[in-house]
Structure 1
């Protein structure tokens, strides 16, 4: 994972990683510069030319070493976070230069302190404590007054400061190791999440394919039901009107029934076109469900010379297209069944809005039938009661039927009230 990846995936963690990376890259340069400035400012004016020459030579060597390591580290994918022989050699040479410079001027302990920051990245685990101890010796020696020691007091101070520095650098190393462990865990977690996302995407694609295969029979049943509810019922109505024409000697009555047949033909053609495109029924194109049902019931009553009434209870809501179309199709199927089988003299359709559900009741006073005597539901679902029940269940509703021979039939469809803007 690159720095950018860490930043984008980790937010604050990414910024902390980048700052830590910048400290490891430019920290040694900064501490070396501070040491040089303080060393020059505190240098003894009587320092010999040989000492100055040695100090500048060691400083130049430290600068060259840092430039070499900066170039080597920047070419590595892990940015030097894994111990290597080159990294271990860099750590040892840097410590030697820092020790020599601190021997000449104690303020070069700042440069020696860089060993606390990156021992865990540069040294193998078995050499890490030794490397940290070596850095602590240099820093403690500088803090005790500079090396070499010229008094017992300096040795005492060194004996106190060395364990203090050792504890300090071990605490820093421990915190650094914890941070590295958290970074590794974050990286592994992000990788696992990405793998899971890839697997979920593949599973989603597979489910889509399976849903397409499984949905093909449902789509065929939907189209078959649409054709039955539109073209088949329309043709049946046209045939019924034309049969009246052939059996009546009255030209005016014949003309009236021919007109009804033509209107049914136009209506059925529009329904067929919308069924192919899976659009809302013609009756819902310009009207809401209550008005569409009112017109459907009234037109059916006129065609069949049956007393048909529509009743609305509750406050009408603008229903979702699928819900409205389903309830309209159920009414159309129920009226078609009543015309073919019930021989009813009166049919009543009631649409009730009851809070979170819609109830559609259809009653007739026809011949009725024995529910137990109905044939078993076919595997295809049928287009009568089975078709109406399937339509209701498709939108999480239910259909109940009550009927007895000679006592008429009552159907009740209960569906969730899903509004148009849901």
Structure 2
């Protein structure tokens, strides 16, 4: 006999009620799910008493023709008892969950009363179909297919005509039992396959969701790093531009003012010259402070050698210049790491901007009382004396000043067409 079946609601796990013979679907906690929503409430709350009333009414109308008129009133007793027992089953299932031992025992009593009702009124098999809905609600594990089989047996018992029908046509009873059992097992298998496919799809969706989440996080991280790198490179570029234009121009102005002969100038002119030179020096200090502030901080919370190696590698990739970094003989801890980084940054900037170098070699070595930093490029070189006389120098005065501030020295060895070698000795 057909049973009304709901369609799964969107976003919910299938409950197996989409098939004529429902089977349980395991929830995430291992318990069978219970139909929800208006249609689920109709199937679990209102359908059983409706089928019980229909089965007894139809039995009453057909009792004379089928010969069980004297038993139809007695059939009300087990039928009403099963309805009352369903109330207790539903409440206990809400408290303890499907598969609880007391719930299984009560359900067994319910099935026994159902057998008695069918024996008294064979048309109670109409009501017996609720067993297919009840199995996943109240039972768990292997008890579910057993209950489905018992329900199929009860339905076949009623379809044969009850006790008298089984006695009169046992072969028909056996055949109906086989048909009901095979149909129920077949529908259970199909529903399990559907459940397995659903679980596979859900697992795939979870994997895709997790992959999407990881990709989104990776994308955000890449965007963040790219933004940070862009900011750092722009700050470096601005610092270099300020150094190579404003700062170097101010150095040139100071050198020219220092070179003006003082003889022949009146006091007013000398004062103005001194004022201009002082203003230029103050502006040079401010420009160097701006360069220092704009330059990216490479050493915060990191190992200086690792930071320096990363800085060299990044510079090499950015400017497409082969750069090697050798710090195997460097002392630990590294003395004055910020000065080492700043001098290296300036030397690399000069190599990229002025020297037109194709290769750069950076070596850090330790001496008993000093750290030696050697930076060699194969660029076009220059005449240090001539550059100093012209007030230029490719940032070398700034590097020399920085090294001098920490008590070190900076030597420059270069000639046109022969590259440049910078050697900084930094006290330990």
Q: Which has more helix, going by share of residues?
A: 1
TM-score if structure 1 supplies the norm length? Answer: 0.48
Return the structure number with greater relative CO, CA threshold 8 A, min gap 6. Answer: 2
